[in-house]
Amino acid sequence: MRSLFLKIFLWFWIMMVLIDVASFAVWILQPEIVVSRWQSATSHALSLYAQQATDIYDTAGTKGLNEFLDRLHRSANISAFVYDERGNPLNGSPPTEAGTLARAAIRHNTQKLEIHGNQAFGATIAEGPSGKKYALVAVFPRPRPLGALLPPFRSQPLRWILPIIISGLICYLVALYLTRPILQLRTATRQLATGDLSARASPQLARRRDEIGDLVSDFNLMADRIEALLTSQRQLISDISHELRSPLARMSVALELARKKTPPDAAGLLDRIEREGERLNEMIGKLLTIARLEREKQAPDSAVVQLSDLIQETAEDAGFEANSRNCTVQLSELSGCATQGNPDLLRSAIENVVRNAVRYTAEGTAVEISLACSKNGGQGWAVIRVRDHGPGVPEKELGNLFRPFYRIENARERQKGGSGLGLAITERVIQLHGGSVKAANANGGGLEVEMRLPLAHTTASGNGS
């Protein structure tokens, strides 16, 4: 069956059939229900037999009545007796219980149904063509509900637990069959979304002969195309960046020659060309860094890095740039945290965030940096927070801050917006070291960037809190 619809339909149809069967079994095992149905059916039959017997007796006498009652006994296995208005039997030798029931029915002018031992008695009143009233008493075997044959079902709660177990088992199998492949597909989707281009759904799921199998095949095909496109894009960026280095180097040489042959009043223009060349060279360097980080699976030249020393050095370096804007860089907290990684890459990641904060914080304010050790779920983390007092970022733009070349509208100008690559490098470096980075608008204004890095074992055992 290729159709998932047909599978769902059959599963739930079978489940409903089993539930109905179980419900019927519970119903049939209750003697009260059986007796109630028996009484209802018997009442109608007695009224019919009584009227026929009365009509026959008034027209054909005792002989005709006996013939009718004999036929009734042979066909329905019912022994019937007719009584006159005074309670005297008109045929056979009825048992004592039959006479008592007949007189009670005549006295109260109503129908009576009773069970004595293994026999059931039913009495009803009918009026013949002559206007006289008679009572017919029928004797037949007592009804035996199916529950009487299965006493454990009546005496134990199995009769209502069994349907619950059956339906629960079937629902569990249905849910497992439907959700397990979807959960596996979601896991692969999340891995792909976090940058793991090798993530694929299980090939076993792709062999399913239904819509989910088709979906898994399409997902894997899509993942193959995305990996190929991104790999091609990264290679293109890397190749272009390398190729641009050579003309930039030649441009620098040509610029120095031009300085020697141009009058002094052209120095300003040549300085501008030099600055733009340096900016372009810096951007190319960052592009090459991103391309290299994309190819890395783990941090190269890994060692234990004392983050407190690294952050202190970064804060001192950024302080010189902050002083030119009438700002400061402050260390609000500095715990002794260490992580396993590449010191140069980590310094670059933290420096990019700090310099970005210095660039956007308001004049006369301070960029605040903190380093704290924490523990979550048995894993120790070094938490680095960098907070500025600038205009902040619109909430809808926060998730895009770490995309390459992305700048929000109010940061488009070159002198303030940068190249849009610094935070992208930070995210890739932090992820390469098994950590995470996120940005949020701080209370009171400004932007706060939080970087989390796994603690080295020496730190985790001594400083976890």
Q: Is the pLDDT of residue 54 over 50?
A: yes
Q: How confident is the model at residue 276 (pLDDT cuts 50, 70, 90)?
A: confident
Q: What is the DSSP letter of 361?
A: S
Domain 211-295 bears CATH identifier 3.40.30.10: no
How far is Cα 328 from Cα 323, in angstroms, rounded to an integer? 6
Report the C-alpha gap between 365 and 387 in whole angstroms.
Answer: 11
Amino acid identity at 99 = G
**98-135 per-position pLDDT tens digit:** 888 888 888 888 888 787 777 788 889 998 888 888 99
Residue 9: per-residue pLDDT: 65
Cβ–Cβ < 8 Å for 49, 80 = yes
- Kind plus residue range of the DSSP H or E element containing 346: helix 343-360
Q: Where in the chain is the domain with CATH 3.30.565.10?
A: 303-463
Strand, helix or coil for residue 119: strand
Report the alpha-carbon distance of residue 94 to residue 138 in Å, rounded: 10
**44 an active-site residue?**
no
Strongest mean pLDDT among 6-10, 190-194, 196-200, 348-352: 348-352
**pLDDT at residue number 109:** 86
Beta-strand pair 328-334/366-376: parallel
Per-residue confidence (pLDDT) for residue 95, from 0 to 100: 87
Does the pLDDT at position 232 exceed 50?
yes
Q: For residue range 258-273, list pLDDT tens digits in order.
A: 877 778 777 777 778 8
Average the pLDDT over 76-80 and give the result: 85
Q: How far apart are CA 314 and CA 373, in angstroms?
A: 19
Which of the residues 242, 389, 433, 457 is marked catalytic? Answer: 242
Q: 465 pLDDT band (50/70/90 cuts)?
A: very low
The rounded mean pLDDT for the chain is 79
pLDDT for 404 equals 74
Residues 51, 58: contact at Cβ < 8 Å? no
Question: What are the residue ranges of CATH 3.30.450.20 in the chain?
Answer: 31-144
Which pLDDT tens digit goes with each residue over 295-306? 666 666 678 989
What does CATH list as the number for 31-144? Answer: 3.30.450.20
Confidence of residue 461 (pLDDT cuts 50, 70, 90): very low
Q: What pLDDT is stored for residue 241 in this prediction? A: 66
Range(s) within the chain of domains with CATH label 1.10.287.130: 211-295
CATH number of 303-463: 3.30.565.10
Whether the pLDDT of residue 144 is over 50: the answer is yes
Count of residues in the chain: 465
What distances in angstroms separate CA 141 from CA 67, 79, 213, 230, 436, one per listed residue?
22, 10, 61, 85, 82
The yes-or-no verdict on residue 157 having pLDDT over 80 is no
In this prediction, residue 300 carries a pLDDT of 66
DSSP 196: -
Main-chain phi, psi angles of 132, to 5 degrees: -80, 150
Distance CA 355, CA 193 (A): 28
Which phi and psi (to 5°) does residue 398 adopt? -60, -40
pLDDT tens-digit map of 390-442? 888 888 888 788 887 676 655 434 445 455 677 888 888 888 888 899 999 98
pTM over 0.75: no
Q: Residue 204 burial by CB count (10 A; 0-12/13-18/19+): exposed, middle or buried?
A: exposed
Rg over alpha carbons for the chain, rounded to the nearest Å, is 47
pLDDT computed for residue 306 by the predictor: 92
Tokens of 340: 């396993």
Sheet holding 133-141, edge to edge: 79-83, 133-141, 119-127, 112-116
Could you give the percent of the chain with pLDDT greater than 90?
13
**The pLDDT value given to residue 47:** 87
Say which residues have a Cβ less than 8 Å from residue 228's Cβ, sequence separation at least 6: none
- Please write the tens of the pLDDT for every residue from 321-357: 888 888 999 998 888 889 988 888 888 889 889 988 9
Q: Return the bridge partners of 80, or none.
A: 138
Position 36 scores a pLDDT of: 58
Are the C-beta atoms of residues 133 and 125 closer than 8 Å to each other? yes
